[in-house]
Amino acid sequence: MASSTETPPVPAVEPPPEGKTPAAPVNYLALAEVVLRFLLFASAVVAVVVIVTSKETVLNSRDAKFNYSPALIYFVAALSVAGLYSIITTLLSFYTLLKPGFCPQLLSHFLIVDVLLLGIVSAATGSAGAIAYTGLKGNSHLGWGKVCNVYDKFCTYVGASVAVSLFASIVLALLVLLSLYSISKKIPK
């Protein structure tokens, strides 16, 4: 009588072919950082293009342009800096995604500049938003009348640009949180 406790044969595991190493696991935090930095670039560029193309001329009146307001000039400058910064950091982040041990200090440098840029972009968004709100509602206490009823296209462009820059501020805040989380994971417990 045969014993029923025989073990089935174990299939042989083939070693990987020579010259090929197994693929490294995907670092989803680094991938999320690259995506967020690209979104920052896209939103900064869109906001700048929209505000710069916001010129409107009304018959028998003056024209409205972004460069007539110091707050809107600051807005364009801040978002232009954010766009340039995001190009550089997107490329560096993509490179660190391909070569994980490239520069471990890079994350802390990104965090510092991201926080600084978040303050600058948020301040620019707030100042442009205040100008847009004053143009939309006016200020009866100071005798400032509404201008968006005359320059409706200009006001629409400014409002859209402010909304996109608000998105850029949120992306920067997410980048700061992501960098803080990544740095906290590297602290030994």
Domain residue ranges of the chain, discontinuous segments joined by +: 28-54+63-184
What number is the average pLDDT over the span 13-22?
61
Query: Residue 12 — φ and ψ, nearest 5°?
Result: -75, 135
* Averaged pLDDT for residues 114-123: 96
**Residue that the structure tokens 């978040």 belong to:** 118
Look at residue 149 in the predicted model and tell me its pLDDT: 87
Cβ(56)–Cβ(153) below 8 Å:
yes
Question: By percentage, how much of the chain surpasses pLDDT 90?
Answer: 48
Q: What is the dihedral of CA 176, 180, 181, 184, to 10 degrees?
A: 170
Nearest Cα to 66, choosing from 49, 44, 42, 85?
Answer: 49
CB atoms under 10 Å from CB of 99, counted, come to 8
Tell me the C-alpha distance between 75 and 131, whole Å.
11
Q: Does residue 28 or residue 37 have the better pLDDT? A: 37
DSSP single-letter state for residue 63: E
Minimum mean pLDDT range among 35-39, 101-105, 137-141, 167-171: 101-105
At 109 the three-state DSSP class reads helix
For residue 131, the number of C-alpha atoms closer than 13 Å in the C-beta half-sphere is 26
Q: Which of 77, 79, 61, 49 is nearest to 152 (CA)?
A: 61
Averaged over 10-23, what is the pLDDT?
A: 62
Neighbouring-strand partners of residue 139:
144
Residue whose tokens read 């307001």: 69
pTM of the full structure: 0.80
Residue 139 DSSP symbol: B
